[in-house]
Structure 1
Amino acid sequence: MKYKRITSIDDPNFKKLHDLMGQIFPPEEVLEYDLWKEPLEDPGIRVFVAVHGDKVVGATEYRYYPDWNIAMTDFTIISQHGLGLGRFLAQNRLKDLNQLAKENGKVLFGMFAEIYDPYRVEHHEFGGVKVMNPYVRREVLSHLGYKRLDIAYVHPSWENSGEAVSGLDLCFMPSDEDLEVLPASLVKEFLTTYYSVLSNKPQEWLDMIDTIAAGETIELLPL
């Protein structure tokens, strides 16, 4: 199995990846094909696929922010069981991020991720792929060290429709597992930067950002 980076929508593996995303994720979570051109060419956005034979069987997208020394996992896809894809993707992603932090003269502070809460929203089938079951994914991410931020979280729809998407938690995996809080300013700056590509923000999201900005710290709770 190979871990290959995609930097162009013209890469044949990107068509396979985008088809896979459409099979796995709900429509509001998938950016339109042509809108991927600039993100893929952005050196700060890292899209890698797991290639098994001639098939794309898994993928992960993430980014590293050198100014904050943090990362964000955008998504992870595991389309088949029995290939060790979860560990393969997680290990290669962490190795890459540790190298980026090292080049930045630092040790990685941690990584954000949005994680579905199936105890609140049960309708996501993820293409019927059992290993993508939200209950399974949530426990796996807890094992990896993710903790949920103590906020009522929504995010803007990636369809840029102005709708607020709920049913997820914003989580953080600190390199220091004893870390109990994050600066509210870091969370606000990260979210406003991360979603700057979307012009149509829902009022619920704007209100959430105002609430975050009004505080000093945000507690990290067990996932």
Structure 2
Amino acid sequence: MFNTPLPTLNELPSSRQLLRSTAIALITAIALLVTVVMPSEYAIDPTGAGRVLGLTQMGELKITLAQEAAADAAVSPPGATTPAQAPAQEAPQVQVAARPAAESVSEPKPALKTDEMTVTLKPGEAREIKLDMLNNAKVSYEWSTTGGPVNHDTHGEPYNGAEGYFHSYRKGQQVTGDKGEFTAIFDGTHGWFWRNRSNGDVTITLKTTGEYLNVKRLI
């Protein structure tokens, strides 16, 4: 039934060879856990390799965003209406009854908001400024640093979104400023995360103009 002869005892791997292969596999798994998984998922980097590869920064950002989401959930009482939920619930009334009344009064469109904020980061510190924005709202911004470069991530998080979910509009490492414009892709908080990786204090000045509801400093 078999065209290939069975291996002899001499051809089978010895117990020593099996133990050696198992040890190599175990050491490889531990090395990947320490240098890749722990830095990227938990910001734990005992060897320093994760920071060189940029994995530790990724883990720190994940932890920060998860903490922010948990803090927002703790502050908002159950059943509370977020700024983004009110328009969605009132939409049928606006179209059927409220809109003609508004048109008859001819109320002017609210002016765009303009704000300027300054934050100072000590070595290793992170700060975040967020805007409450509705879907398709636009904002233009410009920020610059004094004292050195920073790492940044311009991103947004939906109201009541899945834990840890965020959308990144723009990011960079070791830069002294950025400017541009983005359009919110969902109702939620949208803004900037900075971290100071230098050995001295860094001051960031942010200027915003756009269709946002408010501006707030989170951390």
- TM-score category by the smaller chain? under 0.3
Q: Specify which structure has the higher proportion of strand.
A: 2
Return the TM-score normalized by structure 1: 0.25
Return the TM-score normalized by structure 2: 0.25
